Amino acid sequence: MMRFAVIGIDHRHIYHMLGGLIEAGATCAGFDPETSDPRVLAGLRERFPGLPEAGRRALLEDPSVDIVLTAAIPAERADIAIAAMRHGKDVMADKPGITSAAQLEAVRRAVAETGRIFSICFSERFIVPATTVAERLIREGAIGRVVQTLGLGPHRLNRAIRPAWFFDTAHYGGILVDIASHQIDQFLTFTGSADATIAASAIGHFGLDDLPDFQDFGEVLLRSDTATGYIRVDWFTADGLPTWGDGRLTILGTEGTIELRKYVDIAGRPGTDHVFLVDAKGVRHIDASNEPVTYFRRFLADCRDRTETAMRQAHVFTVCRLALDAQAKAALIGGMRPEGPR
C-alpha cells in the first residue's frame, strides 16, 4: 500500500488530487494544515474527515511516505517538490508546478539527481473522461492525421473567494503559465508532438479597473513539426453559466473532427463530458461521462514500478518550458501597463 502526504493546500484542486489517489488505492499519511486560504483547509477537513494533520518537516522526514502532493501557492510548488524529492519522495503537483525558468532548471536537476518522479496533474485532461475517449478515437484513426487543435479555457473569476496571491503575477506566474499549461499539454498529447515552438502569444487586461496588472486574457499560437494549435484562456465566464467555465477542445484531422465540450453543453444535453465526432459516416454524440479516470492509478503504478505510463517526465518539462516561453514572449494588449505586470 503506497502512502502519500499533502504539503500545500492553497488551491481547491487539492481535493481531486487527494481524492483521486485515495480512490486509486493509496493511503493518506497526513497533511500540513498551513494555508493562505482557511476556506480551502475547512473544505479539506469537511471532505476528508479524520485525516491526520502534521507539520511539513515531519511529513517530509517520515520514511513511510512515498509521495507528496502539493497545491501550494503556485510559486512555492517547485521548492516543495524539490524538498520532497531530496527526501526520497515522488511528487504530484497541481498546475502550474513551475512558475519560472530558474525553478524549471532546479526541478530538472532534482529529478536527474534523485531519480524521483515529478508529475503535474493537468486536470483538464487527466480528470476529464472526454479526453480519454478522444485519445482512443485518434489512436483508432477516426479522424485521420491530426492537423490542428483549438483549445479554449475560460474560467469564472469568483473574485470574492480568491486569496490575495491569486492576483499577483509573482505568485501565479501569469495567465499563460497558469491556465494555458493545460492547453499546451493537450496540444502535445493530441497531435503526438514531442516538442513545439511558440509562434505568437499575448496577454491582456480588459476587466477590473482596480486591478490593472491582473492578466484576465491570454492567447497562444503553437507550431510543431506536424501540427499547429491555438489557445485562448480568460477569466470572463459569466455568472449565468451553471459551471466554472465552458472548456472546449476541437481537434481537426484530415478525415474528420472531434469536439469536446468538457463541462457543459450550452442549452443542449445535460451533464458533462460530451464528445462530438464528425467523420465520413456522419455526426455522432458520445457520452463520455462514465469513462474511467486512469491518471491516478497509473501514477501510483509508475511510482511503484519506476515507469512512465501516466505521463512521460520529458513531457512535463516540455509543457512547462513552452508555457514559460509563451508568457515571456507575450505581447501586451487591452490596456495593460507598458512595463508589464508587477
In a domain, 211, yes or no: yes
Amino acid occupying residue 153 = G
pLDDT of residue 339: 46
Report residue 178 as a C-alpha cell.
Answer: 497558469
pLDDT band at 1 (very low <50, low <70, confident <90, very high): confident
The mean per-residue pLDDT over the stretch 155-184 comes to: 96
Please give the model's pTM, rounded to 2 decimal places.
0.95
Q: Is 286 exposed, middle or buried (0-12, 13-18, 19+ CB in 10 A)?
A: middle
Given 67, 102, 121, the domain boundary residue is 121
pLDDT tens digits, residue range 99-134? 999 999 999 999 999 999 999 999 999 999 999 999
pLDDT band at 338 (very low <50, low <70, confident <90, very high): very low
Residue 137 and residue 251 in one domain: yes
In a domain, 304, yes or no: no
pLDDT of residue 336: 65
Give the 3-state secondary structure of residue 245.
coil
**Is residue 318's pLDDT more than 60?**
yes
In a domain, 49, yes or no: yes
Q: How many domains does the chain have?
A: 2
| CATH (domain of 67) | 3.40.50.720
In a domain, 308, yes or no: no
Please, which residues have CB within 8 angstroms of residue 73's CB and are 6 or more apart in sequence? 8, 10, 36, 165, 171, 172
pLDDT band at 337 (very low <50, low <70, confident <90, very high): low
pLDDT tens digits, residue range 79-99? 999 999 999 999 999 999 999
pLDDT of residue 225: 97
pLDDT band at 340 (very low <50, low <70, confident <90, very high): very low
Torsion of CA 126, 88, 98, 167, to 10 degrees: 90
Amino acid occupying residue 304 = R
- Domain residues for the domain of 75 are 3-121
pLDDT tens digits, residue range 189-230? 999 999 999 999 999 999 988 998 999 999 999 999 999 999
Please, which residues have CB within 8 angstroms of residue 210's CB and are 6 or more apart in sequence? none
Residue 157 and residue 225 in one domain: yes
Residue 176 and residue 30 in one domain: no
**Is residue 140's pLDDT more than 60?**
yes
Please, which residues have CB within 8 angstroms of residue 325's CB and are 6 or more apart in sequence? 198
